[in-house]
Amino acid sequence: MDIPYTVEVRRDTGLTNGKIGIWLFLASEVMLFGALFASYILIRTGAPSWPRGDTMLNVPLATVNTIVLISSSVTMVMAWASLMRGRFETFRLYMGGTILFGLAFLVIKYFEYSAHFHEGAFPSTNNFLAIYYTLTGLHGLHVLGGMAVNAYFWGPGAKLWKTNPVWFTNRVEHAGLFWHFVDLVWIFLFPTLYLL
């Protein structure tokens, strides 16, 4: 039995089920990160003193990571646009670039974390580091998850293009929505943690 409304839109919503599904999921993700942002504000406003992020964290590395993640968002949307143009090989190039940018982000984050651990800066050290590790760690897991999905569509999942290109294009669009959301979260995390 075929999964309904993967290609054709529902008459009542004007959308495919996949599109609704990914947006509902992203809504729940907003609340997940929102709870942590609320915790951050509460802890910070309640603290007698709070360090500036740039006195404890590596701003140049985080700036590079911001550029990397924004670039990955562009390659992701270009991958989708390539499918819309019917250019599968170009899609592969852009999607491969997105995965590599994601990997670069995590490698840079690894070096950041390693340097902190080497200096004895652990989550248990103080509240600032606790919320820093929690937020960036959760975000890093999202990058990892997004990379796994993107790698699937770059590799084995791409078989769908041969049998149902519209469905495949939609699936890539939905994966892209998640990836852009991860970029969006970082856009707020970067100034909040590193610059203020």
Partner 1 sequence: MTSDHAAASATGNHPATAMTGDHAVDIDKHVRIYISVFVALMVLTIVTVTVSRFHLPVPIAVTVALIVATIKGSLVACYFMHLISEKKLIYAVLALTAVFFIVLIALPNFTVSDGYWIH
Q: Which residues bind partner 1 (CB under 8 A)?
A: 6-9, 13-16, 19-20, 23-24, 27, 30-31, 34-35, 37-39, 41-42, 45-46, 54, 59, 63, 66-67, 70-71, 73-74, 76-78, 81, 83-86, 161-162, 165-167, 169-170, 173, 176-177, 180-181, 183-184, 187-188, 190-192, 195-196
Smallest gap, in angstroms, from Cβ of residue 25 to partner 1? 11
Q: Which is nearer to partner 1, 3 or 118 (CB)?
A: 3
What's the alpha-carbon Rg for the chain, to the nearest Å?
19
Smallest gap, in angstroms, from Cβ of residue 84 to partner 1? 5
Smallest gap, in angstroms, from Cβ of residue 106 to partner 1? 19
If you count them, how many residues does the chain have?
196
Amino acid at 13: T
Torsion over CA: 100, 137, 186, 155 (sign): positive
Would you state the structure tokens that stand for residue 112, as one six-digit string?
């950041």
Q: Which is nearer to partner 1, 133 or 168 (CB)?
A: 168
CB 180 within 8 A of CB 123: no
Please list, in sequence order, all residues whose beta carbon lies within 8 angstroms of the beta carbon of residue 68, skipping any fewer than 6 positions away.
101, 104, 105, 108
Q: Which is nearer to partner 1, 15 or 122 (CB)?
A: 15
Q: Which is nearer to partner 1, 6 or 126 (CB)?
A: 6
Smallest gap, in angstroms, from Cβ of residue 28 to partner 1? 9
Three-state secondary-structure class, residue 57: coil
Smallest gap, in angstroms, from Cβ of residue 109 to partner 1? 17
Please list, in sequence order, all residues whose beta carbon lies within 8 angstroms of the beta carbon of residue 94, skipping any fewer than 6 positions away.
75, 76, 78, 79, 82
Smallest gap, in angstroms, from Cβ of residue 100 to partner 1? 17
Burial label, 31 (beta-carbon count in 10 A; 0-12, 13-18, 19+):
exposed
Closest CA to 131 of 32, 34, 37, 31: 37
Q: Which is nearer to partner 1, 78 or 106 (CB)?
A: 78
Q: Which is nearer to partner 1, 34 or 137 (CB)?
A: 34
Whose tokens are 């610059």? That residue is: 195
